[in-house]
Each structure stands twice: as structure tokens, then as C-alpha cells.
Structure 1
Amino acid sequence: MRPFHHRHLTALVALATVLVTATPPTAASADDSPNRRAGYHRVGYFTQWGIYGRAFPVKKLDTSGAASRLTHVNYAFGNVSEDGRCYVDGGAGEGDAWADYQRPVPAEESVDGVADAWGEPLNGNFGQLAKLKAKHPDLKVLISLGGWSWSTYFSNAARTDASRRAFVASCIDLYLKGNLPVLDGGSGGPAAAAGVFDGIDLDWEWPNWPGEPGNVIRPEDRQNFTKLLAEFRRQLDAYGRKTRKHYPLTAFLPANPATMDAGYEGREIFPYLDFATVQGYDFHGAWDAVTNQQSALRVPAGAPDSPDFSAEVAIDGWIARGAPREKLVLGIPYYGRGWTDVTGGGNGLFQPAAGPAPATFEAGYEDYRRLKTLAGNGFTVHRDLRAGHAWLFDGTTFWTYDDPAVVLQKTLYIRRAGLAGAMVWSLDGDDDNATLTKTISLGLATP
């Protein structure tokens, strides 16, 4: 099939609407008031490290048109120390305070065209986010704590009443009050980052469930996660009373029902959250011996695993556990997962493969901006419209990914299911025209 073009958008909207509304209702789609929301959350993760190989500075959020179509930007990531505190990690290979607020951003990369001088209190990404917010005053920026690599000591931070109080206080002091450590040259200092961040996103991967090897895991994480949210809400509200501002609290939640049960008290967590983003990707990847979908809306017919993962399975799982649908935001990937040396012929789906496909930064993982160039260049685009996923195959190499047609179908699902909106990982995977972000904005536009 030919790659998606905007001139096909009207026809695709009509087709996707038929596909979504014709599907038998599930726990997530049996909602009779899909337009009850005044507006949808459109959340994008901005990666600290995207300024390097991906050449994606904060400025691109403005010039691409993405910033004007987002409601929230989550900055990835903030670290948690072994003694349970928010801190700026300058450790080699992990932390990058240089990128955060020390690096003098040149004029050509600056949101307002003004270069940073060495040693200013707020340089780097944080300084650029402040400039972006000045240009887009309705945009909220949240610091996202943890992620896959930095969830090691969340359990320590959440363990006791005293540790929770100290952890939350340290996060508010560092990111909301903006009291940054002073670095070589002078960047940082008291209130240096005040006003950059509007709230906090918890990306603990995962309470009482294996994540990155070496993570501290305790059975009591399940109850302590709820208590940690309660402490965040208490201190954020107390601080907000002083500043006359509401500070959003959000969390990233897993797609795996077993992880949901092991680490979360279901409905108990949602009173403390403004909303929660739900993992809608990494369902399969080159860790599997056969090709598969990594982000399908529904489980495809003929899938080799039963039960299997899908966006709908994840959303239904949370609703079944008491989550209010109006606080669930569906995650959408701006990257694909790939296999190579695929055998078995056909369209490549559900076929044996030798390992991860070669890629730009990480084998088996490629940004949408690069995958879109493969369509028609030796690769054929295949679709399962019923299941809501697409893939690229050239007879040997297979990539599962979300293109604008799939993204649009997911926004229509979000509307019909009465969900709170869409989240994306990550903004630097989009093309220079922010095609995927613009598609989300179009699909979630309110009258």
C-alpha cells in the first residue's frame, strides 16, 4: 500500500470511524458520551538525550508545530537516589546535568533566537523549556521521575512515612522551587529553575515487579505506591496554597495485567492523580523469536500468544480494576520494533526471525521519522485495520510501527472509549513537521 498522505485524511477519518464504531463494545468502548470532555490531554515525553544524536532541541517543539498542539510536555527523566531523594545525577553514562541546565544553547537552537552565555543560572534544556512556555503559556511541563533506568531506588523512597515525606519534599524543592545545585561555571543556584516545571510525573517501572536488573523490589511496594501518591498530593496541594497554583500529579502505568495486580491498588490510586498514562507499546519486540505487533489497538487474529497484549487489553485491564476512564491517557509510540532474517514468507507477520533489525541508535528500535522513509523504498506497508496496527516488510526485515493512519484510528478509539487523551513516547521520534503530533491533535480536536 502507498504511504499515508494528508489528502487522504478525510477518507481515512470516515473509514476509521466506521472501524471503531462497528467494533463490539468492550469495557473500554461501551461509553455513551464520548464527547463529554471539554478537551483531551495531549502529552509528549521530551528526552534529555534527544539533543545529541537525534538533533532534537526544545526549539523543534516550536518550529515543528508540536508545542501548539500539546497540553503537557514530560521531561525525561529525574533520578531517585539510594537514600530516597530527588537529585541531579551527573554520573557518567546516566545523568547529564550539562544537558539539563549547564550547556550554553547556541542562537540557532534557541527558542527565542538568543544564545546562552556560559555560567547563566538556567541554560540547557531547562532554560529552553522556560522560553517555550513563555511562547506557549498554556503548555504545562512536568518533570518525569524514574523511567526504565532510574527506577532503581523508588522502593526506598516510598518505604516509610518519613522516607515519603523527605522524598516528596526534595522533589518539590529541586524541581518546583527550582533550587538547583550550582555547577562548574555557576549554572544553578536558589530558584534558578523556578517556574520551569508545573507538576510531577511518576514513572516507577515497576512497584513490586521486575524492571531493569538491579531494581529494589519489595512486596509492600503495592501499598506504598498509593501512600507515595497521597504524600505527593498532600505536599503539592500545600505548596499550591502558598503559590495559588495547582500542581498536576500524573503516573505512568503498565500494560501487563499481572504487573497491575502486583504493584497497584487499582481504584485506590486515582483520587490522587490528575490523570495516568497507560503503556500502549512494547507489547512485543526482538526479545521474541517471531515477529509480532508492538502497539496494536486490539489483539490481531492469529496471534501466536494467548492471552496477548494490546492497547485495548491494557485500558480494559485498568477499567476492570476500578480506574475511571476519564483519567486514563493512552500511550502511543513514535518508534517501531524490528526483526531481521525473517523466514516463512508471506507478509512477514508472526514469522520466525534471527534477531533485532539493524537500526540507527539501538538494534531493533527505530524512530518513526526514519521508518517512514522505508515505505516504497524496498519495504511494503501492510495493515490490519481491524486490529489497528501496521508493519513494514521487505522479505527479510520487519518493522512494527504506528503511522498517521494507525495514530488516527487510536484517537478515534480514545474518543469513543471516553478516555482522557493520548501520550507519546517520545517527541524526538516524530518527523520535522510533527506529523504524528498533528494527527493526534486533529483526531482529538473538540468542536
Structure 2
Amino acid sequence: MPSSTAVNAGYWYWNGELQPENIDSNLFTHLFAAFADVQTNTSTGTHDLIFPTDYEDKFQSFAETVKINNPDVRALLSIGGDTDPSVFTEIASKQTTRQAFIATCIEVATRFNYDGLSLHWQYPNTTDDRNNLDALLTEWRTAVKEEAPELLLTAAVYYSPQYYPTDAIKNSLDWINVMAYDLYTPTSDSSPNFTRPPAPLHSPTSSELITVDGDIRDWIDAGVPANLLVLGLPFFGRSWVLQNADEHEISSAANGASTDDPIPYSQILDFIQENNAVEVNNPSYVTHYCYAGTTWIGYDGKYSIFDKSRYAMEKGLLGYFAWHVGNDDTAGTLSNQASRAWNDI
């Protein structure tokens, strides 16, 4: 049951410098507030939605805030993300806990004037989890139809469809946000031992390289129509330590990560400027990278973001989403590029 309206979306993540009132909502059709945590109430056995401490007012007023400059933007509450996945396993395992959780989510969304809800369960990785997620989504859609038919119902999903009940997705959700990034993530003490772009659209040299296009094809081959898919655009990069500073191409030898954390696009620009780093736009992979000394960072920049947004449109996808808008530079370069590409500006 895909939405008939294109999705040009962005996530606002509370643990960042950008505040909801400073988002340029005119660049988006949908904005997600991330995340409402899910906590088990040990005294009642129920599961409560909890907004991050000191940010309760931001979540409560999010829908109203982002609509000040764009009354047409739709505000959705993203649930989970930072939540221990075992909590979702517990919720989904029984009809009573599923129904209580669904009722709580609808009540919170209605109370704070959200236009929709999005489940962010990372990840339902057992057969029981997948079967119970099927039941959760089916019952959630039924409840929304009966109690709040105006609410959108979505989910953020891993880049591979293997973890998900595709029939329930098709029948119960307005769309899914495919997290087509972190396909390659270095760590400080392990492989990969070669530089990799974290979200290459294509792989011109190796059919074994995981790619965004391959992931989208997998979802479509699994039976989820293209117009139910929203493509994730990473506004961050990942860094490797080169074994040899003179060998700095994609797939150059590396010794893990220079930092285990994702690097916001704005900080990558700072790194380039402060270190006189070399910037490379690789249109074959549709990715950017930069390097200075032995530090190598793979990321999406203004050209790859434009091309990926255009790819989503030409592939017949419902749209794209940015994770997350607070990682952009102060000019909103990546958000603007994605919007221009989709809207053919």
C-alpha cells in the first residue's frame, strides 16, 4: 500500500547540534524525529515511549516547529533506533504486549500532533522475530485504520531484505526507509583491510562488492515494489588508516579505522580544509573520498548525493531520506543537492 506522495525526507537526531527550529523544512516533504526510546515498565509489564532526557520539549513540539515555515511537511515520530533490540523481541512475541505497545504509540503520536509513526527495530534477526514482526505490523495497520486513519505507518530497515516479512511490509506499511549505508564499516582492530566507500552506488571493478544498487535490486526481487522503497542517503563518512600514504585509491591496503565513529559531512569539510586534503569524486562508484597523510575518508558529497537522489527517481523509488540532517554543513549543501536532483532543478 505505497504512498502516492513522493518522499523527500530527513531525520532529525536529538544527539546533535542542529535543533528542529533551524531545519529548512522547505527542502523536505517529511521529517522524522529520532528517536523515541522504548523502555520496559517492570512494575506493569508494559512498554513506554520515552523521549531523551532534556529533549522532551523538542519531541513534544517537533511537529508544530517544523511546520512553521512549511505547513505541508509531514512530521513522523521514529521509534527505536537506540533501543535494545531485545525489547522489541519481547514486545512482538505476544499479542497482549503488541497491542499495548501499538496503543501507546498511537496515543503519543496523536497527543503531539505527529502525522505518522516509524518503527526502527535493529534488527529482527531470528525466524521468531520475523514472524512476530509480521504480526506486529499487521495488527498495527489494523489499529491505525480503526483509531487514527490519517497516520502514516513506516519502518526503517536494514539494507538487506533477509530479516523482514515482505508480505507484511507490502500490506501494512506506507513505505520503508532502506538504510543503504554502512555497507562497509572499518573498526580500529579488525578488517576490512582495504579502503571501502561506506555506500557505493555501483561497483565497476568487482561483482563481489556490496552496492546500494544491488541492495535495492534485492528488495525488489524479494517482492517489495520499487514505489514502496525510500533510499537512505548518508550525510556522514567512515575513515580508514592507509598502510601506505602513497597508495590512496579505493581498495588500497588499510589498517582498520582511524576512528570507529561516523564522521559528519560538516566535519569532513573541516578535515579537508585544515589538512589540505585531496578530494576525489568517483562517478564510477558514485562516492567521494579524501585523504591526507595516512587518513582516508569515504563519504557521500554533493555530487554523489545528487546522483543517488536522481537514481532513486529514475529507478521508480518513492523517494529518499537523509541520515541525518544535523550532519550537513551550515549551508545545507547535501539537503539542497538531493532536493534539486529529485525535483529536476
Same fold flag (TM > 0.5): yes
Q: What residue in structure 2 maps to residue 250 of structure 1?
A: 154
Unpaired segments of 5 or more residues in structure 1? 1-36, 90-95, 102-123, 179-192, 210-217
Once residues 237 and 179 of structure 2 are traced to their aligned partners in structure 1, the CA distance between those partners, rounded to angstroms, is 14
1:419-434 equivalences in 2 (<5 Å):
419-434=317-332
Q: What residue in structure 2 maps to residue 45 of structure 1?
A: 11
Q: Contact conserved, 1:375 with 1:381, CA < 8 A, in 2? A: yes
1:240 positional shift: 2.2
39 and 176 in structure 1: CA distance in 2 versus 1, 3 angstrom threshold: closer
Pick which of 160-169 and 340-349 moved more: 340-349
Q: Decide which of 347, 357, 367 is 2:258's aligned counterpart.
A: 357
97 and 395 in structure 1: CA distance in 2 versus 1, 3 angstrom threshold: closer
Specify the structure having the higher radius of gyration (Cα).
Answer: 1
Once residues 395 and 134 of structure 1 are traced to their aligned partners in structure 2, the CA distance between those partners, rounded to angstroms, is 46
Unpaired segments of 5 or more residues in structure 2? none
Q: If each structure's strand is expressed as a fraction of its own residues, which one has the higher value?
A: 2
273 and 45 in structure 1: CA distance in 2 versus 1, 3 angstrom threshold: same
SS of match in other structure, 2:210: coil
Q: Contact conserved, 2:33 with 2:59, CA < 8 A, in 1? A: no
Corresponding letter in the other structure for 2:116: G
Once residues 171 and 129 of structure 1 are traced to their aligned partners in structure 2, the CA distance between those partners, rounded to angstroms, is 15
SS of match in other structure, 2:183: coil
167 and 125 in structure 1: CA distance in 2 versus 1, 3 angstrom threshold: closer
Q: What residue in structure 1 maps to residue 102 of structure 2?
A: 168
1:411 positional shift: 1.4
1:69 positional shift: 1.2
Q: Decide which of 237, 247, 271 is 2:145's aligned counterpart.
A: 237
Once residues 284 and 209 of structure 2 are traced to their aligned partners in structure 1, the CA distance between those partners, rounded to angstroms, is 16
Q: How many residues align?
A: 334
Once residues 222 and 392 of structure 1 are traced to their aligned partners in structure 2, the CA distance between those partners, rounded to angstroms, is 40
Q: Is 1:133 matched up with 2:67?
A: yes
Q: Contact conserved, 1:293 with 1:389, CA < 8 A, in 2? A: yes
Q: Decide which of 53, 71, 74 is 1:97's aligned counterpart.
A: 53
1:6-405 equivalences in 2 (<5 Å):
40-50=6-16, 55-61=17-23, 66-82=24-40, 83=45, 85-88=47-50, 96-101=52-57, 124-173=58-107, 175-178=108-111, 193=112, 195=113, 197-207=114-124, 209=125, 218-240=126-148, 246-256=150-160, 260-261=161-162, 263-287=163-187, 288-302=192-206, 307-343=208-244, 345-358=246-259, 363-375=260-272, 377-405=275-303
Q: Is 1:412 matched up with 2:314?
A: no
Once residues 290 and 133 of structure 2 are traced to their aligned partners in structure 1, the CA distance between those partners, rounded to angstroms, is 39
Cα offsets for 1:151-196 (capped at 9, x unmatched):
33111111122221111011112x2232xxxxxxxxxxxxxx3x1x
1:388 positional shift: 0.9
Q: What residue in structure 2 maps to residue 186 of structure 1?
A: none
SS of match in other structure, 1:437: helix
Q: Contact conserved, 2:242 with 2:252, CA < 8 A, in 1? A: no
Q: Contact conserved, 2:137 with 2:173, CA < 8 A, in 1? A: yes
Once residues 397 and 425 of structure 1 are traced to their aligned partners in structure 2, the CA distance between those partners, rounded to angstroms, is 23
254 and 351 in structure 1: CA distance in 2 versus 1, 3 angstrom threshold: same
Once residues 388 and 265 of structure 1 are traced to their aligned partners in structure 2, the CA distance between those partners, rounded to angstroms, is 30
Once residues 349 and 154 of structure 1 are traced to their aligned partners in structure 2, the CA distance between those partners, rounded to angstroms, is 38
What percentage of aligned pairs have identical amino acids? 25
CA-based RMSD of the aligned residues comes to: 2.2
Corresponding letter in the other structure for 1:204: W
Q: What residue in structure 2 maps to residue 121 of structure 1?
A: none
1:370 positional shift: 1.6
Cα offsets for 1:200-244 (capped at 9, x unmatched):
10111111x2xxxxxxxx531111112111111111111225xxx
Q: Is 1:442 matched up with 2:340?
A: yes
149 and 398 in structure 1: CA distance in 2 versus 1, 3 angstrom threshold: farther
